[in-house]
Amino acid sequence: MLHRVAHRGYSAVAPENTLPAFAAAVRAGATFVEFDVRVTADGVPVVIHDRTVDRTTSGHGRVWELRHDEIAGLDAGSWFGPEFAGLRVPTLAETLDLLLPAAAELLVEIKSPATLAEVKTIVDQLAERDLLGRTVLQSFDPDVVRKCREVAPEVRRGLLLFRFDAETSSLAAETGAIFCNPPVDDVLGGPAVMAELSAAGIGVMPWTPNDMSQWPALVEAGVSGLITDCVGELTGWSRAHP
């Protein structure tokens, strides 16, 4: 089965990394809901992509230098559209509570910097809700992936990449990743690395193929799933191309 991964939720129809985007992803048939986690200055895991709050909220500053109450007061919806004015940056706890009843699995990207204690806090919130078995923890930072292994060796891991290179397969194996997730162009232009990863039993889910015309070639290249903003469209396409 081709995994249908909702990138930051169904972010084509609602502001990325918000509760409405996650609810829409579930309704649209996502098999994985992907989101990003950072930890505030006072130790609260929140769901936001960028290092700063500037792009997607009404505020300014680095996430790890702001307290949760400062971030909680920001408008995280108006940038996307007036109908989302007043939307807030969700905590990890709020996100997990929303997704708990859903069938979709969770693809949780832990952003760096992340200390071992912060990774443990994130894992503990998943464990409290019995969600570890439904979760893949991933990061662009191999050291964060290693911290995930140290804290919860039983939880599936993914290694995000900015590009394929000669070390890709060995690094994925060394970190114990079951997924290795690069940009679209590297999948389409890297058949040798794709073959190495496939031989090692490591799945590939590229980011972020929003152009439907690329989907057949990516499937032909052997991907395990697609991490896309357009998960509803991918669900429809997948059903038409079983």
- Is the pLDDT at 242 greater than 90? The verdict is no
pTM over 0.85? The answer is yes
Q: What is the pLDDT of residues 150-190, one digit of tens each?
A: 999 999 999 999 999 999 999 999 999 999 999 999 999 99
Kindly name the residue from 3, 7, 60, 241 that is annotated as catalytic.
7
**Integer Cα distance of 206 and 217 in angstroms:** 12
Q: How far is CA 201 from CA 24, 145, 242, in A?
A: 31, 18, 22
Amino acid symbol at 222: G
Q: What is the pLDDT of residue 12?
A: 98
> What is the CATH number for 137?
3.20.20.190
For residue 138, what are the β-bridge partners?
A: 109, 158
Q: How many domains does the chain have?
A: 1
User: Percent of the chain at pLDDT above 90?
Assistant: 99
Active site residue 68: no
Q: What is the pLDDT of residues 181-196, one digit of tens each?
A: 999 999 999 999 999 9
Cβ proximity of 75 and 150 under 8 Å = no
State the residue range of the domain holding 14: 3-240
Active site residue 3: no
Q: Tell me the residue ranges of DSSP E strands in 111-205.
A: 135-139, 156-160, 179-181
Kindly name the residue from 3, 49, 60, 68 that is annotated as catalytic.
49
Question: Phi/psi class of residue 239: alpha, beta or left (left: φ > 0; alpha: ψ in -120 to 50)?
Answer: alpha
Question: How sure is the predictor about 18, in pLDDT bands with cuts at 50, 70 and 90?
Answer: very high
- Is the pLDDT at 10 greater than 90? The verdict is yes
Question: How sure is the predictor about 142, in pLDDT bands with cuts at 50, 70 and 90?
Answer: very high
**Three-class secondary structure of residue 109 per DSSP:** strand
**Integer Cα distance of 131 and 30 in angstroms:** 17
